[in-house]
Structure 1
Amino acid sequence: MSPISQQGYARNIAAFLSFLTSARSGISWRDVNEDDHVAYLVWRRRDASGPRVSGATWNREVAAVNNFYRWAVRKGFVAANPIPHHARSGRSHTPGRIDNQGSSPTTYSRDVNRDNIEWIPQASYRRWRDTGMKGMNADGLPRPAFRGRWATRNAVFCDLMVRTGLRLAEQSALTVFDLPTEHQPVSYQRFRLPVAIAKGSSTRWVYIPESIVRELINYRDIDRRQIIDDARAHGRYDKIARPLVVEDPAQPIAVDYTNAGVKARVKVSNLDHTDRRRLYIAGDRGLEPASFWLTERGMPVSVSRWKGLFHEANVRCADVGIPLRVHPHMLRHTFAVVTLEQLQRGHIAALREQTAEQRGHYTRIFGDPLDWVRRRMGHRSITTTMIYLHTLAELEMETRMALVPDDWEEPPAPPNPLASNTNASQGNPARVPELIPVNHRRHPRVSMKFHHATNRRPHLLRPTLRAPHRSSSSEMTDGHGRSPPTSGPCPAGTDRHSTHSPDAQVRPEHCGQKRPRVRSGCSSPRFCGISTRFPIRQQYRPLSRCGMSRGISGSEHLWPVSTDRWSARQFCGEY
């Protein structure tokens, strides 16, 4: 267990023991029973006067206390574990950690949302880094009031974390012996994360882009060298008590001088977080720290100090109106989400054009993208890495939901630019056409049917789609299956009543003959109609219902039609 995990366990156990002293009449930890544990649960999560911690925090506290009492049972200090357990059968759905005896605490919280991964897009990360760590304004210009002297160190620390997925404790413990030291004509360089500082002893290869390697070398040769020279000038390294010294940098072996003067040699890769903080390199000008990340005074930067720098960066972003908050582990999640998305996209593209045999060969050589990310993240189980698949699924859902319009109302129809100025001057402005969807056909012919009833306003029937063929005036119907007459007081086909104009509007002219008022039930109403033929695409076609009414049986109409290779012929007659 790493020192950071040990500190966390110690805090959780101390909080439980303090509760026994203050709220359970000072009962000894040896005499604790299940009721005491349940009372602690109520106070930590449900009591109005308690902290009401989250489910994830409570699960960590239960795991710490549970491991403590399991150890006490094995050593014989207590007779039984006061935390109730239930047997595990098959696959466990408990969000918390399962113990080694095939059971888990029953008080684990089930409301832990492990799929809620906090990450930040690349553009937002760069904005947060430039503003928070480098001290830029919201417009990308330097802030005159910014006094951060080591902005380069802070920025490259964040860049390394977001491009490699290292944990905060792992990255802060790196030394000059771990990271690449020279430029290489390659896209990536790699180093082996020592098992002594990897969480859960998950040693692995870490790949660093060459652009980040250049930033690391620049920090090492400029800012870090300046810090070391200043610390040497003040004699700070001469006051180090019992340092671990590497006498030959070519062979990273630390020498520990005990009080008796006996030398103990240990490989640098076997040193944990605590020992690395007192690791120094002997040189011609004296000692210098082996830790890669140094404070202004030339000492290794602690984990708590890095957390403070992230908090200060969030405050700077808030001061300039940028609503971005980032914590170190969010950068690790960002690496996993972005890398998995890019690998999945490339994996699918590579397999798309291959045969089944080629796909199998490709998978055997390159493996599964999810497993590759698992190894880069240092996860023991693939199920831990699968939480990032849920994040990708949510991204896909957000993309699809963005296609759904927020306004479900029918979009307003544009004003009809085809209305005649004459109608407008007569107080009869063109009506806003109604949007009527039509099905897609390849060059269908549309026959728009109109008829005048005796006691109601004229109305427009839906267009009737027919097979594509040439238009014929005799094919125009009246809505009752009857064709209009070709003779009468206003015969169709005459120049007076025929229209072939590029205007997307056909206005049937009045026949000039007085129209009689037709009573209800009359079998000879007046008929006016229009037949058009034009291509119709998968879209809305504007059709206006009616214009100015003239009595019961007569009215004027404005019918906009298509201008795309259109032809229209007007009919007016009696039937």
Structure 2
Amino acid sequence: MELIWATDDFLIAGQPYPGFPILLEDSMESCVPANQFFRNYLLRGAIGSKQSWPSTGRALYDFFSFLRAHELDWRDVDRGEAKSLVAAYRDFCLNECELAPNTTGQRLRYICKFYEFAMREGWVTRLPFAYEERTVRQKTDFLAHIDASGGKATVNDVMPRRTKALPKFLCMTEVKALLAAADNPHHRMMIRLALHTGLRREELAAFPLSYVFDPDKAGKTKHNFRIRLDPFDGRGMKTKGSKLRDIWVSRRFMADLHHYAMKVRGERASLSKSPQRALLLNQFGMPYGEGGKSLNRIISETGRRAGIKVHTHMLRHTYATHTLVSLQRNRTSGLDPLVFVQRQLGHRSIQTTMMYLHLVNEMADEAVLAYDDDLNTIAGAD
């Protein structure tokens, strides 16, 4: 017998609810508790975004697969001095699969929620883990003064210690190699748009054609242009949390975007039976679906040809790091470089943006030129 992961339609009040995860087995009996947990945990809104639902299903699927492979029963929570089932799975993820602690912790979070649900339902008599107090990073926002936690939080004792690794980014030599390897002009513009703006993957995929214009018609005095990313303007833009924000684009890059839109994009646009709102189109003349997941494959493959291990979000880190360095080295106004990068990236908290300060400190001895000028020189006129 094998466990099978499937996505099926779940009925709510007789209506289909697409994309609901279901664990299947030939007998189905041992998967009934997991599926009941899904119905309770997901449909009551514990995870707001339906795009995150599959990760919940995969976590439970992997855990039950681990138990089956080792002939263990998920209800065996009274193991005496033996390692608990959840702790054994944690060590399997960390040591055998070599998963990152944060990835393992994300899986364990769902598994622990499942056991808490199972205990409330009376399926188990105790939890296969305990709770302990750990030190956590304290809040620094405007409500920090009312935080009485003392920097402590109660967590499951099976959770691995969280590590905050610095984000990886590309140096300018690697940026040059990556762009040189992008012989497809559509892929090249995709990479450039990410490097010039720091947009997220789903934002790149949805970036509207209508946001692009001829900078020469906007006046000769402007060196940078503000673009409003508005998910509600009817142009198809998508942002994280559907939050509106402004980004700035240099005059030269806007000119390159306009040239691409007018002279290059039509090759793919002509393949579609109807006009498409997105600037970037796939080989069939359609927008990149599923939040732009295929962008990551395209960028990773381009990086492989260049001898670089890279993914879409690393281009966002690259933009943030080099832009912050350039602004700090070339302060010509009262603008706070960190605040600018925060707004450009759409970070809710300045603390999230501050992680790039650590990268900047590592680059302190490097001669870094203005980032946008470097990119434009490398890319040339498309």
- Interval of TM-score (by shorter of Structure 1 and Structure 2): 0.5 to 0.7
Which of 101, 110, 120 does residue 55 from structure 1 map onto?
A: 101
Amino acid in structure 1 at the alignment position of 2:225: Y
The answer for the alignment partner of 1:162 in structure 2 is: 195
Aligned to 2:178: 128
The superposition leaves residues 264-312 of structure 1 with CA deviations (integer Å, 9 ceiling, x where unpaired) of: xxxxxxxxxxxxxxxxxxxxxxx33333322222222243322221232
Assess, with a 3 A threshold, how the Cα gap between structure 1 residues 387 and 106 changes in structure 2: closer, same or farther: farther
The CA deviation at 1:114 is 1.9
CA–CA distance in structure 2, aligned partners of residues 84 and 374 of structure 1:
38
**2:227 & 2:86 partners in 1: Cα distance?**
47
Q: For 2:249, give the aligned amino acid.
A: I
Cα distance between partner residues in 1 of 2:168 and 2:362: 12
Match of 1:230, SS state, is coil
Aligned residue number for residue 312 of structure 1: 301
- Is the 1:24–1:36 contact (alpha carbons within 8 Å) kept by the matching residues of 2? no
Give the whole-Å Cα distance in 2 for the aligned partners of 1:16 and 1:90: 27
Q: Quick check: 1:180–1:189 contact (8 Å CA) kept in 2?
A: no
Q: Distance in 1 between matches of 2:119 and 2:261?
A: 49
| 2:59 aligned counterpart, secondary structure | helix
Alignment TM-score, normalising by the size of structure 1: 0.45
Q: 1:118 aligns with which of 168, 173, 189?
A: 168
**What's the offset of the Cα at 1:167?**
1.2
2:337 to 364, 369, 379: 369
Deviation at 1:32, TM superposition (A): 9.9
Asked whether the 8 Å contact 1:163–1:208 carries over to 2, the reply is yes
Contact 2:321/2:360 (<8 A) preserved: yes
1:117-140, Cα deviation, whole Å (9 max, x unpaired): 21112343123212x212xxxxxx
Name the residue aligned to 1:208. 249
Higher helix content, 1 or 2: 2
Q: Name the residue aligned to 1:37.
A: 86
Instruction: Classify 1:69/1:224 alpha carbon distance in 2 versus 1 (closer, same or farther; 3 Å).
Output: farther
**Distance in 1 of aligned mates of 2:352 and 2:123:** 34
Which residue in the other structure is 2:26 paired with?
none
CA RMSD of aligned residues (A): 3.6
Contact 1:175 1:292 in 2 (8 A): yes
What is the rounded CA distance, in whole Å, between the counterparts of 2:342 and 2:230 in structure 1?
A: 15
C-alpha distance 386-231 of structure 1, shift in aligned 2 (>3 A): closer
Alpha-carbon distance in 2 for matches of 1:113, 1:393:
17
**What letter corresponds to residue 335 of structure 1 in structure 2?**
Y
* Separation in structure 2 between the aligned mates of residue 202 and residue 346 of structure 1, nearest angstrom: 30
Contact 2:338 2:354 in 1 (8 A): yes
Give the aligned residue type for 2:319: F
Q: Where do 1:375-394 residues align within 5 Å?
A: 375-394=343-362
Q: Distance in 1 between matches of 2:89 and 2:272?
A: 49
Show structure 2 runs of 5+ residues with no match. 1-47, 140-148, 368-382
- 1:353-409 CA distance string (max 9 Å, x none): xxxxxxxxx5xxx4x32233222222222222221111111122678xxxxxxxxxx
**Structure 2 vs 1, CA of residues 77 and 7 (structure 1 numbering), >3 Å: closer, same or farther?**
farther
Residues 382/231 of structure 1: CA separation in 2 closer, same or farther (3 Å cut): closer
Q: Do residues 18 (structure 1) and 32 (structure 2) align?
A: no
Q: Give the alignment partner of residue 326 of structure 1, picking from 304, 310, 313.
A: 310
Normalised to the residue count of structure 2, the TM-score between the two structures is: 0.65
Q: Aligned AA for 1:376?
A: Q
Shift of 1:200: 4.3
Report SS of the residue matched to 1:371. Answer: helix
Which structure would you say has the larger RCO, counting Cα contacts within 8 Å and 6 or more residues apart? 2
SS at match of 2:248: strand
Contact map agreement 1:156 1:212 (CA 8 A) in 2 = no
Shift of 1:164: 1.1
Supply the distance in 2 between the matched residues of 1:337 and 1:74 (Cα, whole angstroms).
Answer: 47
User: Does structure 1 conserve the Cα–Cα contact (< 8 Å) formed by 2:206 and 2:278?
Assistant: yes
Closer/same/farther in 2, CA of residues 76 and 210 from structure 1, 3 Å limit: farther
Aligned counterpart in structure 1 of residue 131 of structure 2, from 78, 85, 97: 85
Using a 3 Å threshold, how does the CA distance of structure 1 residues 26 and 341 change in structure 2: closer, same or farther? same
Q: Tell me if the contact between 2:133 and 2:154 (Cα under 8 Å) persists in the aligned partners.
A: yes
Cα deviation, 1:309-357, whole Å, max 9, x if unaligned, reads: 1232123224xxxxx332211111111111111222234x76xxxxxxx
Q: Aligned letter for 1:53?
A: L
Contact 1:21/1:27 (CA < 8 Å) preserved in 2?
A: no
CA contact (8 A) 2:247 2:343 kept: no
> In 2, distance between residues paired with 1:69 and 1:292?
46
Larger radius of gyration: 1
In structure 2, do the counterparts of structure 1 residues 158 and 32 end up closer, same or farther at CA, with 3 Å as the change threshold? farther
Partner of 2:269 in structure 1?
228
Counterpart mapping for 1:323-362 below 5 A: 324-347=308-331, 362=334
In the aligned structure 1, how far is the partner of 2:338 from the partner of 2:287? 35
